[in-house]
Amino acid sequence: MQKKEPAKTILTSRGKSTHEGPYTVEPSEGELYKTLANNLQVGVYIVQNRKFQFVNHQIQEYTGYTEEEMLEMNPSALIHSVDRKTAVKNAANMLKGLRATPYRYRLMTKQGQTRWIMETVTPITFRAERAILGNCIDITEQKEAKKSLREMDALKASILDAIPQAVVGLQNRRINFANTAVEEVFGWHPEDLIGKSVTVFYRNEEEAEEIGSHFYSTLEHQRTFVSEFNCRRKDGRDILCRMRSSRIGQKLTKERRIVITYEDITEQRMAEEELANSREQLRNLSIYLQSVREKESTRIAREIHDELGQSLTAIQMDLAWLDAHLPPGDLSLSTKVQRMKGLVDTTVDSVHRISTELRPILLDDLGLTAAMEWQVQEFEGRTGVRCEARLDCKESSVEKDLATTLFRIFQETLTNVARHAGATLVKVRLTQKGNELRLDVSDNGKGITPEQAGDPKSFGIVGIRERVNLWGGSVSINGKPQKGTTIRVRIPLALPVGAT
Ligand SMILES: Nc1ncnc2c1ncn2[C@@H]1O[C@H](COP(=O)(O)OP(=O)(O)O)[C@@H](O)[C@H]1O
Ligand SMILES: [Mg+2]
């Protein structure tokens, strides 16, 4: 035998329950309706003579009151005071058949919260008397969702208007959206653009066609695309734009809905070009100044060497003659001549040193390694710091201007060692590795700091970097405290542009 299901307690109006135990007889039709009403996801109630006669579970949820409490209440007392009059009127109209659509009002819950309710009412007969059957749902969440959706839309619109780039939405190449920045970028009012072909932004039909096919074909297989194109403003002025486009949706649909942003980069591009130009000019000027300086030094060195050298040699010869023809026994004259001879000898040395420093004739006559070797000896002699130099490179592969550059760099590094390092030993290596010329100079002094090496006011070092840059090379300067400083210069041996 099949067991009977235990009965559900059927709540009745006015708080009485019909059955307390399991069903043994089939429920009446009225009880069935009540069961039905209590299982609905909408609020259902019956009002008669301004009193609830029935309230289902759902409406108790909405209001927060129990059935007992509600059955004692005046139904309109539940409605928010602001909405009460209208709600009652709407209900009356609906009962009279003057209104067909549901109406909304705010309900005050037992806990004092406000809930939005959407409701319909129908006149019925209940226990042989006229009554109202009410049907309502809580639409608070929907309302809030709608509100936040509206806020979201407003936010999106203000974001779009805050963007300095022009943003347009396209559908089959027609503009269906434009932000306010289109006015700034293109000189068009956003409203005037709606419905127009995006061609209005371009210089002519052909270019518009080309840009369009470029974008659409790329957006077939990727979501976004960035490119630069020439565009035209409403006033006819041409501008260069960086354009970013992205398709709307997972793939490009038949309507080809895309969004494009246009950023006017005309001025930016011009500034970049100007910067590049002035860099190039500076570089050329620097090359020019250095070559002028070297030429000038060479000329002065020659003149000092030749003119002064010749005169001094003549004086030396005259002094020798004078010495030989002095009347014998005149000690004071002889001493004077000896002193003059000594003076002229040191002057010859000075002239030689000055002219060599201005422009080592060795560099022109015998080449880089010979000039460096001479510089090493001169350095050791002058400073007392030992200098070990290993110089192997093919003279033929180092052209004259590069030899000058390397020699000047070498001079500056040695001067720095003498002035700043406090070293006792310097090691110099000049090597050629493939197509690269390498000059390494390291000392065992106190070590340069990174700040000193990177200081833009360290003009000696800046000068080294400048010279190396002109040849497309690189410099690294490293110091270890109390261990020393190493400077490495690398120069590619391919002919650099402009450095001739
Ligand atoms: N070999 C070195 N050892 C230690 N310090 C050095 C060395 N070379 C350069 N420096 C430091 O780096 C600074 C910058 O050098 P540099 O640009 O040639 O300028 P300057 O020689 O005119 O002072 C120097 O003032 C010095 O403090
Ligand atoms: Mg220096």
For residue 292, the tally of other CB atoms under 10 A from its CB is 10
Of the residues 264, 289, 314, the one at which a domain ends:
264
Q: What is the pLDDT of residues 218-255, one digit of tens each?
A: 888 888 889 999 999 999 999 999 999 998 887 777 88
Helix (H, G, I), strand (E, B) or coil at 25: coil
Domain check: are 193 and 303 in the same one?
no
Domain check: are 390 and 308 in the same one?
no
The domain that holds 179 is classified in CATH as 3.30.450.20
The domain that holds 368 is classified in CATH as 3.30.565.10
Domain check: are 229 and 292 in the same one?
no
Q: In what order do the strands lie in the sheet with 166-171?
A: 174-178, 166-171, 257-264, 238-247, 224-232
Domain check: are 186 and 202 in the same one?
yes
Q: For residue 146, give the amino acid letter.
A: K
Among 378, 347, 349, 373, smallest CA distance to 362 is for 373
Q: Whose CA is nearest to atom 5 of ligand 1?
A: 448
Residue 27 domain-assigned? no
Task: Measure the CA–CA gap between 376 and 380, rounded to whole angstroms.
Answer: 6
Q: What is the pLDDT of residues 4-40, one digit of tens each?
A: 444 444 444 444 444 444 555 677 887 888 888 888 8
Residue 70 domain-assigned? yes
Residue 306 domain-assigned? yes
Task: Measure the CA–CA gap between 175 and 265, rounded to whole angstroms.
Answer: 22
Of the residues 232, 264, 296, the one at which a domain ends:
264
Number of domains in the chain: 4
Q: What is the pLDDT of residues 136-168, one digit of tens each?
A: 999 998 888 888 889 888 888 888 888 889 999
- C-alpha 452 to ligand 1 mean position (Å): 7
Residue 289 pLDDT grade (very low, low, confident, very high; cuts 50, 70, 90): confident
pLDDT of residue 271: 95
- For residue 59 and ligand 1, the question of a CB distance below 6 A is answered with no
Q: Given the CA of residue 421, which atom of ligand 1 is nearest to it? A: 3
- C-alpha 416 to ligand 1 mean position (Å): 5
Domain check: are 369 and 493 in the same one?
yes
Domain check: are 401 and 339 in the same one?
no
- For residue 420 and ligand 1, the question of a CB distance below 6 A is answered with yes
Q: Report the helix count and the strand count for the chain, using DSSP H and E.
A: 16, 15
Residue 451 pLDDT grade (very low, low, confident, very high; cuts 50, 70, 90): very high
Domain check: are 283 and 298 in the same one?
yes
- For residue 297 and ligand 1, the question of a CB distance below 6 A is answered with no
Task: Measure the CA–CA gap between 129 and 34, rounded to whole angstroms.
Answer: 18
Residue 348 domain-assigned? yes
Of the residues 234, 264, 294, the one at which a domain ends:
264
- C-alpha 243 to ligand 2 mean position (Å): 50
Q: Whose CA is nearest to atom 13 of ligand 1?
A: 452
- For residue 454 and ligand 1, the question of a CB distance below 6 A is answered with no
For 107: left if phi > 0, alpha if psi spans -120 to 50, otherwise beta; the answer is beta
Q: What is the pLDDT of residues 356-389, one digit of tens each?
A: 878 777 788 888 999 999 999 999 999 999 999 9
Q: Whose CA is nearest to atom 9 of ligand 1?
A: 416
Domain check: are 212 and 330 in the same one?
no
Domain check: are 204 and 290 in the same one?
no
Ligand nearest to the CA of 442: 1
* For the ranges 54-63, 277-286, 390-399, the one whose mean pLDDT is highest: 54-63
- C-alpha 283 to ligand 1 mean position (Å): 24
- C-alpha 350 to ligand 1 mean position (Å): 27
Q: What is the DSSP string of 336-368?
A: HHHHHHHHHHHHHHHHHHHHHHHS-HHHHHT-H
**Where in the sequence is the domain holding 313, given as residue range(s)?**
274-359
Q: What is the pLDDT of residues 385-423, one digit of tens each?
A: 999 999 988 877 788 889 999 999 999 999 999 999 999
pLDDT of residue 495: 52
pLDDT: which is higher, 331 or 79: 79
Q: Whose CA is nearest to atom 18 of ligand 1?
A: 460
Domain check: are 366 and 499 in the same one?
yes
Query: Using the 8-state DSSP alphabet, how is residue 476 labeled?
Result: E
Residue 131 domain-assigned? yes
Task: Measure the CA–CA gap between 118 and 98, rounded to whole angstroms.
Answer: 17
Domain check: are 331 and 402 in the same one?
no
Tokens of 460: 């000696």
Task: Measure the CA–CA gap between 307 and 300, rounded to whole angstroms.
Answer: 10
Domain check: are 366 and 354 in the same one?
no
Residue 469 domain-assigned? yes
Residue 475 domain-assigned? yes
- For residue 459 and ligand 1, the question of a CB distance below 6 A is answered with yes
Residue 252 domain-assigned? yes
pLDDT of residue 153: 85
